[in-house]
Amino acid sequence: MRYSRDLRGYGQHAPDPKWPGGARIAVQIVVNYEEGGENSIEHGDAASEAFLSEITGAQPWPGQRHWNMESIYDYGARAGFWRLYRMLEGIPVTCYGVATALARSPEQTRAMIDAGWEMATHGLKWIDYRDVPREVEAEHIRQAVELHRHVTGSRPLGFYQGRTSMNTVALGCEEGGFEYLADSYADELPYWHVHAGKPQLIVPYTLDANDMRFANGGFTNGEEFFLYLRDAFDCLYREGAEGRPRMLSIGLHNRLAGRPGRAEGLKRFLDHARAHEGVWFATRLDIARHWAATHPHVAIERPSQMERDAFADRFGSIYEHSPWVAERVWDGEMGAAHDGAAGLSAAMARQFRAASDGERLAVLRAHPDLAGKLAAARRLTADSTAEQASAGLDALTDAERAEFTRLNDAYTDRHGFPFIIAVRDHDKAGIMAAMARRVQNDTATERIEAERQVMRIAELRLKAALE
């Protein structure tokens, strides 16, 4: 089985985004323009809208228009938009514009273009695509790009569907003209997604620093919104000063944050953020282009995507003369988490631990003596040769070789398998001392230690192979 989700991401050490001017944080504000593109009988939909409004517990009205719901959306276009527009003057902003909504609001669309806002597409209609057939959603994306171009004068370079299906991101990749997609909440930095062998940049969005939480009970007043945005900013700003710059995305809706009791919270946040140095206010397209220039896609070896024979050839020697470990890893569940040394090492260790007692003992016995007869005859595997050389075991004096041989023989006679140690963790003196100490252990204790060392050797080999 191949697991489709990437739970690894950048791991513990994310890349430095190198924001322009050495900024500690990139702040990105989105205004969602959805009014006029929502579910409505008048728009050809089966029912009225029920999402993100002031009506608690709203439900779709099949076959009927909903006057209150429609007028709430009308407020966003008529009043809320202009309040946000004035408040955001001078700040780079991205509009997620539903194509049919932009077409129905020519004055607001002209104002956003004149202000230099980035006009990304929010799809053709602001509807739920989870049950929409793939080919229908693809056609809607095509129509959205076309209508967006007709309305604004240029095609959109960013795409955020919002109410997605499992096909949305793939369809966005396949459309071929987007510099970034935004239907992800998986990170605080952009990342490259590969679909059908082609890289596509993802600039993740937000559902937490988002005024939609006014509609689901997360925020009840502007002060709560301000405090959440302020704390998010302060955390990321501090981390940026510590050498881990990130991106803060903020989502706004005209009919939600555009209400006066909420807009004041936004204003206080903007004042707070602008009072700090080292803040890069940017559109999502600015961020996408910066990332693509600073961190262009680099194809990496992906073990989880290899064919079985190729995987076994590549990693079958990680456990000494025991390709079955790699084969069982491939036969199990693999995903992006196993495309790095740490994840693949963990998967192999898991299979090794799950093996029978006899299988594990055979792995121990497959390991060569340190500086023994196989080394002298140059019959070690390439990995073992390099490892022993790294600790100077290929250049022993006659006296050192005699002592290694004596300890090796005593250890093997006592425990029934050769002395095993991850030599890259030690120098020659440390290895000798460990041999002298461990030869005195009881076999049960030493069996545990030997198996631990086998897994450590595998981990080091994978790091050398993949990093």
Give catalytic residues, as residue numbers.
Answer: 367
Alpha carbons within 13 angstroms on the beta-carbon side of residue 208 total 14
Angstrom distance (rounded) from CA 98 to CA 159: 10
> What tokens does 128 get?
């739920």
| Size of the chain in residues | 467
Residues paired with 248 in a beta bridge? 27
Tell me the sheet residues that pair with 251. 30, 210
Query: Could you give the angle at the alpha carbon of 181 between the alpha carbons of 180 and 184, nearest 5°?
Result: 135
- 8 A C-beta contact, residue 339 and residue 378: no
Instruction: Provide long-range contacts, Cβ within 8 A and 24+ apart, for 128-134.
Output: 128/51, 128/163, 129/161, 129/163, 129/164, 129/165, 129/167, 129/168, 130/163, 130/164, 130/165, 130/166, 131/165, 132/165, 134/165, 134/167, 134/171
Interatomic CA distance for residues 106 and 110, integer angstroms: 6
Q: How far apart are CA 325 and CA 357, in angstroms?
A: 14
Question: How many other C-beta atoms can be found within 10 angstroms of the C-beta atom of residue 314?
Answer: 15
Helices (H) and strands (E) in the chain, counts: 18, 9
Name the one residue in this structure whose structure tokens are 């079955």. 324
The closest alpha carbon to 167, from 137, 197, 200, 201, belongs to 137
Cross-strand pairs, 210 = 251
- Nearest to 329, CA basis, from 319, 321, 99: 319
Task: Give the whole-angstrom CA distance, residue 430 versus residue 439.
Answer: 14
The residues that bridge with 38 in the sheet, in sequence order, are 126
**Which residues, in sequence order, are bridge partners of residue 96?**
32, 120
Q: C-alpha angle 142/147/150, rounded to 5°?
A: 130
